[in-house]
Structure 1
Amino acid sequence: MRPPRFWNRPPGRPALASRLLSPLAALYAWGTARRAGIVGQSAPVPVICVGNLNAGGTGKTPVVISLTQRLIANGYNPAVVTRGYGGNIEGPTKVDPNRHSAEQTGDEALLHAAFTATWIAKDRAAGVAAAVAEGADSILLDDGFQNPSVTKDLSIVVVDAATGFGNGRVLPAGPLREPVGPGLARADLLLSVGEADDQATFQTRWGDQVTCPSIQARLEPLQMGMDWHGLRVLAFAGIGRPEKFFNTLKSQGADIVDAVALGDHQPLAPALLSRLEQQAKAKGLQLVTTEKDQVRMPPGFRHKVLTLPVRLEPESWTEIDHELARIGLGGPES
């Protein structure tokens, strides 16, 4: 399901629908503020939360993967705890890619499990306890910035530089889970993800409301030795902003003949995959998708589809490393 267009109107010029929904938005913001005041359970190991103010995808998954790799390179044994959006496991359950499907765990959990131990838990405190009991010396919460059940030692808010905070209003009048000011006041870092032009636009629209340290980053294709130049493809993506994936694929030289934008986390039903396959065959195209979409496919279909993995590249790791060291997760040089 695509968000309503008025959510992404520039701040300061609310649409009629947004104004009419303002009373409900005020109620939603009040509820979030009340929850923010609850003191959660403290964990015996450092807890890093990667969250957002926006509802929907902002690029948290690559951030969690990047931090996971950073911690492992520094000699730590991190675990990811997530509620498993799109899955049906209540938890706490350790994700096993050989046993679990995306229908059970959600796509993000399966991606994280390829890098480190990953736990599904609707009750995040229970998930953290299970991960620590198995030997995790650090926790990465994928989402949960507005969830007070666990005390966070480091909170990183991720924002898509291209869309920013939309019209600046709270659900359902806008795309936000809470207002920008109170949200960023609780954050230790803001990570804006996007290309240079989008970063400049974000700074113009939102820079005066950013009250915490801010870092820019971009998503870079992972070089796998694949030559994309001239390859005629049917690209499809069920992520927060499919056009980001399409633009990245184009930047690698692929010729996107057909681009199919799906809903974020949209189930890849057999009928949908069959339609995409027939559409590609009719035009002699190669199917291409994202890592997140690939894990939602039936195993027997995956060999028909190429993926273009991306990884987060911050402009500098200095500020992030400083925050990691502050909570006791510094690298060998610290």
Structure 2
Amino acid sequence: MAGAAPDFWWRKADWRSAALRPLAAVYGAVAAHRMRHAPRVPVEVPVLCVGNFTVGGEGKTPVAIALARKAREMGLNPGFLSRGHGGAHGGLHRVDASGDDAAMVGDEPLLLARAAPTVVARDRVDGARRLIGEGCDLIIMDDGFQSAHLAMDFALMVMDARRGLGNGLVLPAGPLRAPLDEQMRHADALLCMGEGDGAQDVPNRFERAGKAVFRAAVQPVNVDDFRGRRVLAFAGIGNPSKFFDSLRSAGAEVAVARPFPDHHPYTHAELQALLAEAEAQGLALVTTEKDLVRISTGTGTGAALREKILCLRIEAVFSGQDDAARIIEQTISRGRERIGRSGRD
């Protein structure tokens, strides 16, 4: 979902969310019906979905990349499947990390394509078959939990531990993509990202249902580039404050923080204004990898400014040393069992 999420979604329900409850009831009923009854088409390899309950900002992309890296260590050949949110490509496309434009394929697929073969497709079943045809033996689906018509062998739900589920209401009254009970029914495990107790009842409910709860955190990679530096930080992601906090944890002083809507397409004028503000105050200009992908593959002027913008690189690190392997092993086991059953039918 593009655009800035309303602040009231992440606070205790108030008059604004109350006014939108009738619309939320309709949206929630439709979303629940779709999840319960939409056909899910099986494919010939295991499918791991990395999804979330709410709109944006939980850290799905670094989690998906971490899982793909672990899968490669385990001797597998994973491939990413994405709808290409934020991109204009309307068909089926294998992403070229060095040559494609974020405006066409989306920013997240370009990051994914650096780690493993990545296909963007409106029809995820067709996209999965394309990856299988290119030799992938594990499909990691970035998002699509609520809507994709592809059978999933394991659904890992990523939740920001601090923000939790916000006011706990369904769109447009709150950030939930569908009623929580319906989403939990289809989920296999929960991954709490970071520290906090924004929705402690959610991991408790997973554990009572006998479903695994994992924990992980996003950690800066190039810490030495920022320790002790004063910066102007800007970000057009689902949860910009998480990026600003990551910079602080890397030792930077965030003198100015400029949030933008998720997947924001920066104009040359905006970038020039940010650069001028940073230079006037003696600050380093820094953004996220996802934002930098959009800037670098955008207009020629944006790409030219790329050299003046620093980037904080991050990675998702699981709390348990074997957690990523456990998730992949369960996906493979369930996928093989499903494929074996279909072969006997």
Kindly indicate whether the alpha-carbon contact (under 8 Å) linking 1:39 and 1:148 is maintained by their aligned counterparts in 2.
Answer: no
| Deviation (angstroms), 1:148 | 4.1
1:7 to 3, 6, 9: 9
Matches within 5 A, 1:174-185: 174-185=174-185
Q: Secondary structure at the match of 1:68?
A: helix
Matches of 1:163 and 1:188, distance apart in 2: 21
Q: TM-score, normalised by structure 2?
A: 0.89
Matches within 5 A, 1:225-264: 226-264=224-262
Deviations 1:252-306 (A, max 9, x none): 2112221111111111111111111111111121111111111011332221111
Matches of 1:182 and 1:317, distance apart in 2: 31
| Deviation (angstroms), 1:320 | 4.2
- 1:313 and 2:317 matched: yes
Kindly indicate whether the alpha-carbon contact (under 8 Å) linking 1:7 and 1:173 is maintained by their aligned counterparts in 2.
Answer: yes
% identity of equivalent residues: 40
Q: Secondary structure at the match of 1:86?
A: coil
Matches of 1:101 and 1:322, distance apart in 2: 35
- Give the 3 Å change call, closer, same or farther, for CA 47–16 of structure 1 in structure 2: same
Structure 1 unaligned spans of 5+:
none
Matches within 5 A, 1:200-279: 200-203=197-200, 205-210=201-206, 211=209, 212-222=211-221, 224=222, 226-279=224-277
- Give the 3 Å change call, closer, same or farther, for CA 318–230 of structure 1 in structure 2: closer
Amino acid of the structure 2 residue aligned with 1:202: A
Cross-structure match for 2:293: 295
Q: Secondary structure at the match of 1:104?
A: helix
Matches of 1:227 and 1:97, distance apart in 2: 24
Structure 2 unaligned spans of 5+:
297-302, 335-345
Deviations 1:20-55 (A, max 9, x none): 222211111111122112231111011111111101
Matches of 1:294 and 1:329, distance apart in 2: 38
Kindly indicate whether the alpha-carbon contact (under 8 Å) linking 2:32 and 2:179 is maintained by their aligned counterparts in 1.
Answer: no
- Give the 3 Å change call, closer, same or farther, for CA 21–225 of structure 1 in structure 2: closer
Kindly indicate whether the alpha-carbon contact (under 8 Å) linking 1:180 and 1:209 is maintained by their aligned counterparts in 2.
Answer: no
Amino acid of the structure 1 residue aligned with 2:8: F
Q: Secondary structure at the match of 1:226?
A: helix
Number of corresponding residues? 322
Q: TM-score, normalised by structure 1?
A: 0.91
Kindly indicate whether the alpha-carbon contact (under 8 Å) linking 2:70 and 2:325 is maintained by their aligned counterparts in 1.
Answer: no
Matches of 1:120 and 1:289, distance apart in 2: 25
Kindly indicate whether the alpha-carbon contact (under 8 Å) linking 1:57 and 1:239 is maintained by their aligned counterparts in 2.
Answer: yes
Cross-structure match for 1:23: 22
Kindly indicate whether the alpha-carbon contact (under 8 Å) linking 2:166 and 2:198 is maintained by their aligned counterparts in 1.
Answer: no
Moved over 3 A (4+): 205-211, 317-320
- Give the 3 Å change call, closer, same or farther, for CA 329–92 of structure 1 in structure 2: farther
Kindly indicate whether the alpha-carbon contact (under 8 Å) linking 2:94 and 2:119 is maintained by their aligned counterparts in 1.
Answer: yes
Cross-structure match for 2:339: none
Q: Secondary structure at the match of 2:294?
A: coil
